[in-house]
Amino acid sequence: MPDLHTDVAIVGAGPAGLMLAHLLHVAGIDSVVVDNRSHDDIATTHRAGILEAASVRMLETPGIDSRVHTAGHRHDGIDIRVDGVSHPLDFPDLVGESVWLYPQNEIYVDLAAARARTGRPTFHAVTDTRLDAVESQSPQVRAVTDDGEPLTVTARYVVGADGSRGPSRASIPETTRKRFFHEYPFAWFGILCEAPPSHEVLIYSRSARGFALISQRSDTVQRMYFQAPPDTEVADWSDDRIWTELQARVEGPDGFALRTGPIIDKTVLPFRSAVTEPMQHGSLFLAGDSAHTVPPTGAKGLNLAFADVAVLAPALVRALQDSDAEALARYSATATKRVWKAQNFSYQMTRMLHTDPTADPFEARRSLGELDSILTSDHGRRYLAECYTGWPHTTTIP
């Protein structure tokens, strides 16, 4: 494999890396993308499904041809159930916005196809990825390709969009890197099932037995989660036991009943908050989960990654085309502002909706008071709707 030279080397071919690659391509900027996973691995990983309107607009960028408007569904609200009592939130009414249900793996399929059409290179299933000389003006990404050939990509900038476990973050020296971390005393048990939707919109339910989320995938496949201890074993949960638990967490005086069906996937998902600052070191920029992880309760993970890219892409374009690196120098400060707002919202939703087995009785009652304050106030409901549907992007896409 010859050594490659490009403008931007992107580590990570997930939605953040490929969206960035596409926005750069549209502006006439070259990139090389590498990922240690295979195309099929990424395409079949089940992740979150809710898109803010600003994320949908990014998918409307010419050349992506996303199926978000044909295969995705607009959702005009969510339902928050508290001890079996439903509190519908109407987003257009409260804040004039909506969200879209369009799973992350479909986004990946759209973006991977768009990338392929540009003819610019993506290397999948690479091993031994290493970032070199990130403090210089010609940083390098080295890896071994899937057929065992050494690969060296020399670029003007490197972007680490390689998720929470990728190598990029560690290329920022520990002396400059700060990691903020919060652990929660629970995890989510996630299922995919073959059943019709149980409700028009997603249901976030707080109950004495713990939190449950009734989400969707399509007319025939649904996604649901329930709060469980972090050491929960999938093997201990039969389909019957799962349905009994989920139903117990949503039932109430209105007689609401879940539509059930065969469960086709069961996973226990980790649950934590983390932020790395700064999101830049020399010629290296972090985007998405490589810099921050949010608990899924606020549906912010992918949206936050896209928001990073919406700031980073035009800043890279200006630096490369106009030799004006000022916006790039402000990237970390600009992006982390939104990151902390999303961390706050995700933490707040989590704390208000879950039962904490380690909390004192005061905290349990207090969090119910917090939820009640929000749901019974027009201002509170508007606040929640604004956070959930997302704050405006700080920069326009190029």
Cite the active site residues.
75, 204, 296, 300, 388
Residues in 30-49 that interact with ligand PHB by CB under 6 A = 48-49
Looking at the Cβ atoms of 139 and 295, the one nearer to ligand PHB is 295
Per rule CB under 6 A, is residue 296 in the interface with ligand PHB? yes
Per rule CB under 6 A, is residue 297 in the interface with ligand PHB? yes
**Do the beta carbons of residue 15 and residue 165 sit within 8 Å?**
no
Per rule CB under 6 A, is residue 55 in the interface with ligand PHB? no
Looking at the Cβ atoms of 259 and 365, the one nearer to ligand PHB is 259
HEC per residue, the chain? CCCEECCEEEECCCHHHHHHHHHHHHCCCCEEEECCCCHHHHHCCCCCCEEEHHHHHHHCCCCCCCCCCCCCEEECEEEEEECCEEEEEEHHHHHCCCEEECCHHHHHHHHHHHHHHHCCCEECCCEEEEEECCCCCCCEEEEECCCCCEEEEECCEEEECCCCCCCCHHHCCCCCCEEEEEECCCEEEEEEEECCCCCCCEEEEECCCCCEEECCCCCCEEEEEEEECCCCCHHHCCHHHHHHHHHHHHCCCCCCCCCCCCEEEEEEECCEEEEEECCEECCEEECHHHCEECCHHHCCHHHHHHHHHHHHHHHHHHHHHHCCCHHHHCHHHHHHHHHHHHHHHHHHHHHHHCCCCCCCHHHHHHHHHHHHHHHCCHHHHHHHHHHHHCCCCCCCCC
To ligand PHB, the closest distance from the beta carbon of 301 in angstroms equals: 8
Taking the C-alpha atoms of residue 318 and residue 397, their distance in angstroms, rounded to an integer, is 12
| Stretch of 22-30, 245-253, 294-302, 326-334 contacting ligand PHB, by CB under 6 A | 294-302
Question: For ligand PHB, which residue of 9, 21, 26, 50 counts as binding (CB under 6 A)?
Answer: 50
Binding residue count for ligand PHB, defined by CB under 6 A: 10
Residues in 130-169 that interact with ligand PHB by CB under 6 A = none
To ligand PHB, the closest distance from the beta carbon of 133 in angstroms equals: 39
To ligand PHB, the closest distance from the beta carbon of 102 in angstroms equals: 10
Residues in 179-238 that interact with ligand PHB by CB under 6 A = 202, 213, 215, 223
To ligand PHB, the closest distance from the beta carbon of 228 in angstroms equals: 15
**Do the beta carbons of residue 281 and residue 25 sit within 8 Å?**
no
To ligand PHB, the closest distance from the beta carbon of 131 in angstroms equals: 31
**171 CB-side CA count, 13 A:** 30
Looking at the Cβ atoms of 48 and 317, the one nearer to ligand PHB is 48
To ligand PHB, the closest distance from the beta carbon of 91 in angstroms equals: 14
Looking at the Cβ atoms of 64 and 202, the one nearer to ligand PHB is 202
Question: For ligand PHB, which residue of 51, 114, 159, 299 counts as binding (CB under 6 A)?
Answer: 299
Per rule CB under 6 A, is residue 284 in the interface with ligand PHB? no
Looking at the Cβ atoms of 299 and 320, the one nearer to ligand PHB is 299
**Sequence-distant (≥ 6) Cβ neighbours of residue 396 within 8 angstroms:** 310, 314
To ligand PHB, the closest distance from the beta carbon of 348 in angstroms equals: 13
Looking at the Cβ atoms of 315 and 349, the one nearer to ligand PHB is 349
Per rule CB under 6 A, is residue 304 in the interface with ligand PHB? no
Looking at the Cβ atoms of 33 and 48, the one nearer to ligand PHB is 48
| Stretch of 153-161, 292-300, 358-366, 374-382 contacting ligand PHB, by CB under 6 A | 292-300
Site for ligand PHB, rule CB under 6 A: 48-50, 202, 213, 215, 223, 296-297, 299
